[in-house]
Amino acid sequence: MIHMLHDINDCYTLSNGVKIPCVGYGTYVESDAEKNVEVIGQAIRAGYRLLDTASFYGTETYMAQALKKCGIPREEFFITSKVWKTEMGYEQTKEAFDRTLENLQTDYLDMYLIHWPVPGADCEDWRQLDADTWRAMEELYEEGRIRAIGVSNFLPHHIENLLENGRIAPMVDQLEFHPGYHQAVTLHYCKEHNIRVQAWSPLGRRRVLEDPLILELARKYETSAAQICLRFAFQEEVIPLPKASSLERMEQNQDIFSFEISREDMYRLETMPQTGWSGQHPDGLL
């Protein structure tokens, strides 16, 4: 499939038939609102059409302003947002969704995700909470207000709960994913269940970009360390959502189609020691 994709806006097809671009842009968080609007606008001008936000990020209103300024029709974008830990529950999710639409100044979302499966390590009824949240999302989807629904940071046991208690299977699982944090079990599970994986933090952190193996491969393939990380995700058929604040890096992050990492080097990347993990565990564990 990946050999048929040659541009960041070439698409995969989700389990419900909805098309989703193969590379997206994770909204960059700045304390300066004006700078946020400019950075998102710059990403749009650079060509990104899959834009990822969340109520927790506080960037929904900035994205709305950037979209309004760009003059490009709404239907040309694939916009994702997420319901936060404190917004979960049946009624609360519907209220949170309405706030998100108001913030984004749109009457529908292309995709809506449950941001985290467990609000905290002391949450004993997370299974019921997730099921209630998912029921609200299923209804919003069936009403045509969301084109696709999914989850974020869900491990197999969290997804199993939705499959057992819900009517519609998640179409996407957005995970922390990068060399040094491959999440092989969850990746395999999602592929088996036709759930498309997206990668937040696909570049890892400075430790990943300065890792000796990443730097070795960047020299070998005559690319940047960031391009190695993004191409790694792409060859795993994972949708990377890189963040960047400069136009140069935004454009460089798109240039992942002109080279291919060898099978041997992919094995090396897949088996790297854990590097650059955020420290955030979906079960609320440290």
Considering the candidates 25, 28, 48, 57, report the single residue annotated as catalytic.
57
Active site includes 108?
no
Report long-range pairs for 210-219 (Cβ below 8 Å, ≥24 apart): 211/179, 211/180, 211/272, 211/275, 211/276, 213/179, 213/268, 213/269, 213/272, 214/179, 217/261, 217/265, 217/269
Decide: 114 and 89 in contact? Cβ < 8 Å: no
| DSSP-derived secondary structure letter, 202 | T
The bridge status of strand 78-83 relative to strand 111-114 is: parallel
**Whole-Å CA distances, 2 to 27, 139, 232:** 25, 33, 12
Dist CA 37 CA 142 (whole Å): 32
| DSSP-derived secondary structure letter, 146 | B
Q: List the one residue out of 115, 121, 27, 26 whose CA is nearest residue 65.
A: 27
- In the block, tokens 């079960």 appear at 283
Q: How many residues does the chain have?
A: 286
Q: Please give the positions annotated as active site.
A: 57
